[in-house]
């Protein structure tokens, strides 16, 4: 799982080294290379029958794929609009948004400690938003917010389907999401401007930053408990900010660091307390 978070975290620094690719073209090529990679990886992990399961997938499966496509598209677009630190810290709101959406749509009870953590994390994000308004980069942070929101919907749909006896396999739905993202962004990416150097980096992202870690994370989730996965996933924020700092000279601002510490501190405290009580 630590290796998974390290692979996830290379997106920001890699994007900063692109020469000519911009905007929707970046999203298209990463999603396209993810499709090619998963067409090889999925049969290796799950056998050729995985494609039959995709063809016979029900509504929840396709909705999960749609959520993945929003996550893929919004993440890469946000990286072109604001700092890596802003994007990663905003994405770390995922567990709290999931708790809220699960409470609204499937009636999951939210403990008091989680309400407190949501309030603290909300304050951290609000602090970042104020700084973004003054810096003119609020749009990028709002686009980044679509990632944890789509992830929360994805998780809630999956949980509700499991409760009804319908198994939603998240790995094949990643392939569906990558296909949708590719098709939607293709018209917006033309005319292509990416150099051979850019295509090499975007191919690396499709395989190493998305396809492989997404498949491995599902395997990890079968062994690790949910709090462990949530806490280890925070390493993506730390790795991503450090890599962008060391590899692209992108120094995180004071407001981002302050807001990020509030968000991550709230998440860690909530997960640790919940873990101990369950133990």
Domain range for 37 = 2-278
CB atoms within 10 A of CB 216: 17
The pLDDT tens digits of the residues spanning 235-256 come to: 888 888 889 989 988 888 787 7
Number of structural domains (the chain) is: 1
Please tell me the predicted confidence (pLDDT) of residue 71.
93
Spatial CB neighbours of 273, under 8 Å, sequence gap ≥ 6:
113
222-246: average pLDDT: 80
Q: Which carries the bigger pLDDT value, residue 157 or residue 166? A: 157
CA distances from 271 to 10, 61, 191 (A): 25, 28, 46
Structural Rg of the chain based on CA atoms: 18
CA neighbor of 26 nearest in space, from 172, 209, 152: 209
Angle 88-4-163 from CA coordinates, rounded to 5°: 85
**Separation of CA 142 from chain center:** 14
Q: Which carries the bigger pLDDT value, residue 16 or residue 275? A: 16
Please tell me the predicted confidence (pLDDT) of residue 51.
83
Whether the bond into 61 is cis, omega within 30 of 0: no
* pTM of the predicted model as reported, rounded to 2 decimal places: 0.84
Residues 232 and 5: beta-carbon distance below 8 Å? yes
CA distances from 2 to 91, 147, 220 (A): 17, 21, 10
pLDDT band with cut points at 50, 70 and 90 for residue 140: confident
> Is residue 85 pLDDT above 90, yes or no?
no
Distance separating alpha carbons of residues 95 and 81, to the nearest angstrom: 24
Of all residues in the chain, what percent carry a pLDDT higher than 90? 34
Which pairs with CB-CB distance under 8 Å and at least 24 residues apart come from 129-135? 130/255, 131/253, 131/255, 131/256, 131/259, 132/82, 132/86
Terminal CA-CA length for the chain: 21
Please tell me the predicted confidence (pLDDT) of residue 189.
93
The pLDDT tens digits of the residues spanning 109-123 come to: 888 888 888 888 888
Distance separating alpha carbons of residues 44 and 136, to the nearest angstrom: 46
Quick one: tokens of 54? 């995709």
């Amino acid at each position: 799982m630590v290796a998974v978070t390290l692979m996830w975290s290379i997106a920001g620094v890699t994007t900063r080294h692109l020469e000519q690719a911009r905007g929707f073209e970046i999203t298209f090529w990463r999603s396209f290379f993810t499709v090619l990679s998963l067409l090889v990886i999925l049969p290796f992990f799950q056998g050729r029958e995985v494609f039959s399961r995709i063809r016979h997938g029900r509504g929840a499966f396709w909705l999960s794929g749609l959520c993945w496509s929003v996550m893929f598209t919004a993440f890469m677009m946000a990286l072109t609009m604001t700092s890596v630190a802003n994007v990663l810290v905003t994405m770390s709101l995922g567990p709290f948004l999931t708790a809220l959406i699960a409470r609204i749509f499937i009636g999951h009870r939210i403990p008091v400690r989680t309400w407190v953590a949501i309030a603290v994390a909300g304050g951290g994000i609000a602090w970042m938003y104020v700084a973004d308004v003054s810096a003119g980069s609020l749009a990028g942070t709002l686009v980044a917010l679509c990632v944890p929101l789509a992830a929360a919907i994805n998780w809630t749909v999956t949980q509700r389907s499991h409760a009804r006896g319908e198994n939603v396999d998240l790995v094949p739905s990643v392939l569906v999401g990558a296909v949708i993202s590719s098709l939607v962004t293709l018209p917006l990416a033309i005319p292509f401007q990416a150099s051979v150097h850019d295509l090499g980096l975007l191919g690396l992202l499709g395989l190493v930053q998305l396809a492989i870690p997404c498949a491995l994370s599902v395997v990890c989730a079968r062994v690790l408990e949910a709090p462990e996965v949530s806490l280890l996933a925070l390493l993506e924020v730390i790795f991503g900010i450090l890599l962008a700092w060391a590899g692209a000279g992108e120094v995180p601002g004071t407001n981002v660091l302050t807001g990020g510490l509030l968000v991550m501190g709230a998440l860690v405290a909530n997960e640790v307390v919940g873990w101990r009580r369950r133990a």
